[in-house]
Chain A
Amino acid sequence: MKQSIRIASGQGFWGDLQTAPVDQVRNGPVDYMMMDYLAEVTMSILQKQKMKDPNLGYAKDLVPLFEEILPDIVKKKITVITNGGGVNPIACRNAIFAVADKLRIKNLKVGVVLGDDILGQIDALAAQGIKLDNMETGERLESVRSNVISANVYFGAFPIVEALRQGAQIVITGRTTDTGLTLAPMIYEFGWSDSDWDKLAAGTVAGHILECGGQTSGGNFSADWKSVPDLAHIGFPIAEAGPDGTVVITKHDRTGGLVSSASVKEQLVYEIGDPKNYITPDCIADFTTIQLKDTSLDRVEVSGVKGKPSTGFYKVSMSYFDGYTAFGTLTYAWPDALEKASKADQILRIRLCDLRLNFDEIRTEFLGYDSCFGPLSKNTGTLNEVVMRVGVRSRDKEAVNRFSKEIAPLILTGPPSVTGFAGGRPKPSEVIAYWPALIPKTAVTPKVIVEQH
């Protein structure tokens, strides 16, 4: 058994720094690289792409990325684990095999994890009494059933572990938890059992620390952002994990950014609920047991993590169509920038009212003044300029289209000294709303396929 493995974070979300995964495999030693591509509504975007073309539905960024890094990971025997397979992990795998052909790389073993996509089984599940009602609001699924676009079960680390046991060098999953991508290689390398709750919790905490990429290593760092060196060349975080679950968070030498207990703490408290009960499919981690220690420059030891048994349920991430939005912006200059922007908003609202358009909500914010602070905004003196930003939401697409024609006229029929309309009419976009639910673990089975090409 290895005494230590280095797991690199390569991507914190779809659209993250494109050079990060390349730097992670080239700038120093790593054994594994995990890449998280899936935010809550990403699956719906991918499901729509797959409906248009059955060969799509995965994070397409992976193809040019593997063209770049496949020779490196083969040569250095680095295993890559990603949930970028989206709603079509098989198509993603085939695209990677095509890259291998192009680069004349043979005997590449790629594993896929399937079974998370339950869009086609919703009614069959309902017939079995599994209703998938909203776990946060209690609303019944019937209220949005006809508008559901995607439905995916969050699997944990163990299907990935199975793919690793079968020798996969790349593992492509659909909706796997972000933390499972990091936990899986620890389970595999150190032989942890599925009831080793403290160790599973330790690996889960490491996963939470890695899952948002540079946010652990100096990005979005509120404690002292001015002190962070060379963010232009930020090194993404790396977890050095040991068999007992102790993990050191670090980054490659000679990269920018920083790793400190303060930067790790900021990530630990990011997007959590009750810290004593951080629930994943693999375990429940208790974040109040985590001990951090700055051991040397850019090295933080994470230890002491306690865990509890996992629940009998998987979380299901569903999305549904819920109308349209559009946003219009105009920039007003001194003098009286805020008063002018405010007057323009009033004029716009009167015109929308005259047109008898039906909106669920109209919201106006003044960027540069109150979009972050709302009613807490303080008028700290004369504003050089302010951006009026008006958003509307409606289930009536025509109302949203009509709104988009009412922004530009304000330029010549409203307050003076206005600009910032070069983008043309605002384009309506679809609202994809999120519907979280629970499903008994016994109702779905992950499927693992490992193939050599």
Chain B
Amino acid sequence: MAGVDPENSGDSKSHSGTTLTIQLIQIAHARSGDKGDTGNVGVIARKPEYYPLLEKYLTVERVQSHFAGICRGKVERYELPNLGALNFLLHESLGGGGTRSLKNDAQGKTLSSVMLRMELEITESI
């Protein structure tokens, strides 16, 4: 399986002065779900050395701006370094949630895809 072998981790040297544009899906996988009108998106580093990149670049502010127009409430971020994962709560994202929502994706199942499509400018190499 791709990208989860901790024994086979690559070298991560930083390149000062240069930036690299990556899409989050290159370094992470994700799963999302719902709790009422709040969407939860768990983002998991594909390799242990990618977790610091998630911590550094996947800030509350970055996620809030990425989900502008989808998430109408606040964004909360929680860290799970033991799993190389971050958990985001996106409040007021599901059109009222449950059976009240008029959204095709009333349960936020595809918010993970929306998250993974995010582009990041990083100064490290991967």
| Alpha-carbon distance A375/B72, docked complex (angstroms) | 13
Question: Do B82 and A288 touch (CB < 8 A)?
Answer: yes
B-contact 0/1 string along A216-237, CB 8 Å cutoff = 0000101110010000000000
Chain B residues near A260: list those with CB within 8 A: 1, 4
What number of residue pairs across chains A and B have CB atoms under 8 A from each other? 147
Q: How close is A353's CB to chain B, nearest CB, in angstroms?
A: 18
| Alpha-carbon distance A243/B3, docked complex (angstroms) | 33
Question: Do B70 and A375 touch (CB < 8 A)?
Answer: yes
**If A275-B87, A375-B68, A436-B36 touch, does A270 touch B80 (CB 8 Å cutoff)?**
no
Q: How close is A291's CB to chain B, nearest CB, in angstroms?
A: 6
Interface of chain B residues 103 through 120 with chain A (CB within 8 A) = 103-105, 110, 112-114, 116-117
Let me know if A393 is at the binding interface, CB within 8 A: yes
Q: Which residue of chain A has its CB nearest to the CB of B69?
A: A375
Question: Do A272 and B42 touch (CB < 8 A)?
Answer: yes
| Alpha-carbon distance A53/B125, docked complex (angstroms) | 65
Question: Do A431 and B100 touch (CB < 8 A)?
Answer: yes
- Interface-centre pick from B4, B97, B99 (highest chain A CB count, 10 A): B99
Let me know if A376 is at the binding interface, CB within 8 A: yes
Question: Do B30 and A434 touch (CB < 8 A)?
Answer: no
| Alpha-carbon distance A41/B34, docked complex (angstroms) | 13
Q: How close is A18's CB to chain B, nearest CB, in angstroms?
A: 21
Question: Do B82 and A372 touch (CB < 8 A)?
Answer: no
Question: Do B104 and A258 touch (CB < 8 A)?
Answer: no
| Alpha-carbon distance A40/B29, docked complex (angstroms) | 27
Chain A residues near B104: list those with CB within 8 A: 365, 367, 371-372, 389
Question: Do A270 and B33 touch (CB < 8 A)?
Answer: yes
Q: Which residue of chain A has its CB nearest to the CB of B2?
A: A224
Q: Which 5 A-B pairs have the closest CB atoms?
A: A269-B42, A391-B102, A375-B69, A363-B102, A223-B29
14 extra A-B contacts, CB within 8 A, seeds A269-B43, A289-B82, A434-B36: A262-B4, A262-B44, A268-B42, A268-B80, A269-B40, A269-B85, A271-B33, A272-B87, A273-B89, A275-B87, A361-B102, A363-B95, A372-B113, A375-B68
